Amino acid sequence: MERQNLLEQLIRDNYPQRNFTLEFAAADADFRRYWRATFADGATIICMDAPPDKMSIEPYVHVREIFSHIRVPELYVIDKEQGFILMEDLGRATFLQAMQEDTRSEVHKVLLLEAVDTLIELQKSSVAGVLPDYDESVLRREINLFSEWYAPKEKNHHFTMAQQKIWNDGLSVLLPEILQQPKVFVHRDFIVRNLMLRSNKPGVLDFQDALYGPITYDLLSLTRDAFIEWEEEFLLDIVIRYWERARLANLPVHQNFDDFYRAYEWCGVQRHFKVIGIFARLKHRDGKEKYVAEIPRFIRYLRRALRRYPQLNALKQILWEVCGEDEEEVTGYTF
């Protein structure tokens, strides 16, 4: 309640003699919360509340400036000391909500291709040295969330020394391949829940963790979502269309689509293990259990990818030992 009172005072100070109501708008997986202030004339602003003892708003402000060529919110008031930002309201309708309300595949395709165009626009502006590198230490720290949080906390499966070696051997194959990908600006959470429906082009939110890294990462995030799942054939079409448009935009994608798709799926293996670990950590460390229900979707993503690449058999073995047999694969070998 104290944070809300501070926020209301900040609004009054910056919008004097304008009555408003404040309603909760959204919460992130971290400590940030968002409020919507609605003034008497119907105008609205979004208010970010990021407690300064828990996190800094500086990365958000910094990345917003770098990403200003795409549709990101205008920032009206920045209070770094108290951890508040008053910003433009990009509306209430996310791509995810639109897709859940209209399940027709042609509608989903239109929206995903709009997202693809925005992603390409973002990637075209990429410059090395502007954002921190998505380097080996970050990739390894992220994927190890699976072994540190999901396996022991959610499955009560503590790696033996032999399993830890198998896991590390798998990472020694996977991570160098991801690091060899061409590098661009990476939003890191480019998902339909963070894209807002607008009349011209999508609004983009939640970009504060952006890095400079593998070109397939954001496309993978977009198409292998936590809260909505598409058929493989449908997604293949989206990925091909991205690849074609990226080549026309002179982005450094692989010249051969098979090579690009392999890079896309290997990047996915890292991210899927990471997300599973994050969702487990949110439950067991932060008491946020709602994301755990989405973990089986990421396990399915992993199983499908790992079946296709014998080079990743070490990671496949660990997944099998922690999560149980891959029924599709077992069935597939039963003649």
What is d(CA 309, CA 223) in angstroms, rounded to the nearest whole number?
20
Point out the residues of the chain with pLDDT beneath 50.
330-335
Q: Model's pTM, two decimal places?
A: 0.93
Fold agreement (2-88, 95-332): no
Structure tokens at 276: 């599973």
What does the pLDDT look like over 53-112, one tens digit per residue?
Answer: 989 999 999 999 999 999 999 999 999 999 999 999 999 999 999 999 999 999 999 999
- Output the pLDDT for position 329: 55
CATH of the structural domain 2-88, one choice from 1.20.1560.10, 3.30.200.20, 1.10.630.10, 3.40.50.2020: 3.30.200.20
Domain boundaries, the chain: 2-88, 95-332
What is d(CA 159, CA 11) in angstroms, rounded to the nearest whole number?
51
What is d(CA 210, CA 194) in angstroms, rounded to the nearest whole number?
13
- Output the pLDDT for position 125: 97
What does the pLDDT look like over 194-205, one tens digit per residue?
Answer: 999 998 899 999
- Output the pLDDT for position 30: 72
Structure tokens at 26: 């959204």
User: Domain 95-332 is classified in which CATH homologous superfamily?
Assistant: Aminoglycoside phosphotransferase (APH), C-terminal lobe (3.90.1200.10)
Residues 6+ apart with CB under 8 A from 274: 142, 143, 145, 146
What is d(CA 327, CA 132) in angstroms, rounded to the nearest whole number?
40
- Output the pLDDT for position 331: 37
